[in-house]
Amino acid sequence: MSKQVASGKWTVARRQAQGQRRMAGGRWQVGLQRFGLMIAAVLLASCGKPEQKADPATQSPASPNLPRRELTKMTLALNWFPEAEHGGYYHAKIKGLYAKHGIDLAIIKGGPGTPVEIEVGTGRKDFGIVNADKILSTRAEGVPVVGLLAPFQVSPRCIIVRESSPVKTFDDLKNMTLIANPAKPFVKFLQHKYGLEGVTIIPYRGGLATFLNTDNAAVQGYINSEPLILAERGERVRTLSLATAGFNPYTSVLVTSEKMIAENPELVQGMVRASQTGWLSYLLFPAPANSEIQRQNSEIETYVLEEGAKQLGPLMLTGDAELAAFGTMTETRWAKLQSQLIACGAIKDSGKPVSEAFTTEFLR
């Protein structure tokens, strides 16, 4: 079907997606205003009165522990192709925030099956983006990767079905095809909690062609990405949030190795604090980083990227991050996640304290 013929259909789908975003808009706008005030307070204390609506990325102070001109080459491995969920890191890079902290950062694109946690834990990459459930499963296998910063307080992970599907809750996921990575902990969680009776799981390898060409199907996705892509193509869909089902791992967590923390704490601190400022700036001013993301990922459409960025606020400026530092993490949530993963068979109980899987010592 041509885009012209389908224009009425995809316009309705797009408006549906925009309406869902507006429903959550009020709360996160308040949260973003609070973070804006926090940034302003920091700038007032260190730089004098900030210019109204100034991008905080342009006024972020350099790390006091590193020579300003001495840059150390570092790598950041993404867990997927560049998208809005990486926006804060790109914003920090193009605004020179990492350089201010003594870091010459190269961002490396990911894709299906990219073993970021292994690359980082073994020292082949310096930093990476990994979800909290993967951090725990990797550490259970003896790979010493550590979470530093959690932009997503609410996981964007979802299961997507067509609007015409009888599936309205996770209990309805029966006798159908699920396109998802069967090795992912969230799939094991769904199998354990809901049974998935009669569900055939087909490995997800990126893209939505299999979903579009399969009747009675569901597919994994992120709430701020795949549903928007489908809406742009004229598909009306329904999403089931894993977070509302009780599976809510910190997402797109900035990670490094235990060795990096022990040997280069100043660089780790600079990386974390530049990323914090980058994310807060991206939520306010996403356009510069979006341009770079599109340059790195030419397949992502402008509408999808812009709308995806707008949906990040309710997922980031909420929960513990409303009361503490942006990207904060708590042992309580990590412990709950660990218990869920053990219960569903995703990991074995190693007996190691969950507090070793993350640190908040570098957060501003």
User: Once rounded to an integer, what is the mean pLDDT over residues 65-84?
Assistant: 85
CATH of 156-241 given 3.40.190.10, 3.10.100.10, 3.40.109.10, 3.40.50.300: 3.40.190.10
Q: Where in the chain is the domain with CATH 3.40.190.10?
A: 25-154+249-357, 156-241
Instruction: Pick 22 or 234 by higher pLDDT.
Output: 234
- Give the list of residues 6+ apart from residue 262 with CB closer than 8 angstroms, or none: none
Tokens of 223: 């709430």
Whether residue 332 has pLDDT greater than 90? yes
What percentage of the chain exceeds 90 in pLDDT?
Answer: 77
Q: How many CA atoms lie within 13 A of 299 on its CB side?
A: 9
User: Once rounded to an integer, what is the mean pLDDT over residues 303-316?
Assistant: 96
**Angle formed at CA 58 by CA 54 and CA 60, multiple of 5 degrees:** 110
Whether residue 344 has pLDDT greater than 70? yes
Taking the C-alpha atoms of residue 294 and residue 301, their distance in angstroms, rounded to an integer, is: 8
Whether residue 1 has pLDDT greater than 70? no
Per-residue DSSP letters for 81-115?
Answer: SS-GGGHHHHHHHHTTHHHHTTEEEEEE---TT--
Query: Across the chain, which distance is largest between two alpha carbons, in Å?
Result: 63
Q: Most confidently modeled of 57-66, 201-210, 247-256?
A: 247-256
The amino acid sitting at 111 is: G
Taking the C-alpha atoms of residue 110 and residue 118, their distance in angstroms, rounded to an integer, is: 13
Taking the C-alpha atoms of residue 136 and residue 284, their distance in angstroms, rounded to an integer, is: 32
- Give the list of residues 6+ apart from residue 349 with CB closer than 8 angstroms, or none: 342
Q: What stretches of the chain show up as alpha helix (H) in DSSP?
A: 7-47, 87-94, 97-100, 116-121, 132-140, 185-194, 209-212, 226-232, 258-263, 265-284, 287-296, 302-310, 313-316, 331-343
For 34-66, b where at least 16 C-beta lie within 10 A, e where not — what string?
Answer: ebeeebeebbeeeeeebeeebbbbebbebbeeb
Instruction: Pick 2 or 256 by higher pLDDT.
Output: 256
**pLDDT at residue 141 in the model:** 92
**pLDDT at residue 73 in the model:** 98
Give tens-digit pLDDT for 205-217: 889 999 999 999 9
**pLDDT at residue 63 in the model:** 52
- What is the homologous superfamily of the domain 25-154+249-357 according to CATH? Periplasmic binding protein-like II (3.40.190.10)
